[in-house]
């Protein structure tokens, strides 16, 4: 085989650096996805506990997932609402 026929075949083969870079990029994407899930789950877990202790349904913490206004609504409910669990008779 001549060099002219081997050169296109060599260009089609992935290089070791490209494979390593692709693996690193895949790891980076998975890592950032994990961080995003943790960053979203932690406040929901915390507010679920707060809503439960306040006497509300804990699922109200899922309002946090609504973009932009969700966290504001959750904080307003907790700040200005009556806490049924806090009243003693």
Could you tell me if residue 22 is inside a domain? no
- Mapped onto helix, strand or coil, the DSSP state of residue 84 is helix
Is 67 a member of any domain? yes
pLDDT value of residue 69: 94
Res 34: pLDDT: 96
d(CA 6, CA 12): 10
Asked whether residue 59 is assigned to any structural domain, the reply reads yes
- Is 5 inside a domain boundary? no
What is the phi/psi pair of residue 26, to 5°? Answer: -65, -45
Residue 47 lies in domain: 40-81
Residue 89 has pLDDT above 80, yes or no: no
Checking if the pLDDT of 41 tops 90, the result is: yes
Report which of residues 47 and 7 the model is more confident about: 47
Whether the predicted pLDDT of 21 surpasses 60: yes
- What is the pLDDT averaged over residues 50-79? 91
């Amino acid at each position: 085989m001549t060099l002219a026929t081997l050169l296109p075949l060599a260009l089609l083969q992935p290089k070791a650096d490209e494979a390593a870079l692709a693996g690193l990029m895949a790891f980076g994407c998975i890592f950032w996805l994990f961080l995003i899930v943790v960053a979203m789950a932690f406040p929901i877990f915390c507010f679920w506990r707060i809503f439960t202790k306040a006497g509300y349904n804990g699922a109200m913490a899922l309002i946090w997932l609504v973009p932009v206004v969700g966290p504001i609504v959750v904080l307003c409910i907790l700040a200005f609402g009556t806490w049924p669990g806090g009243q003693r008779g």
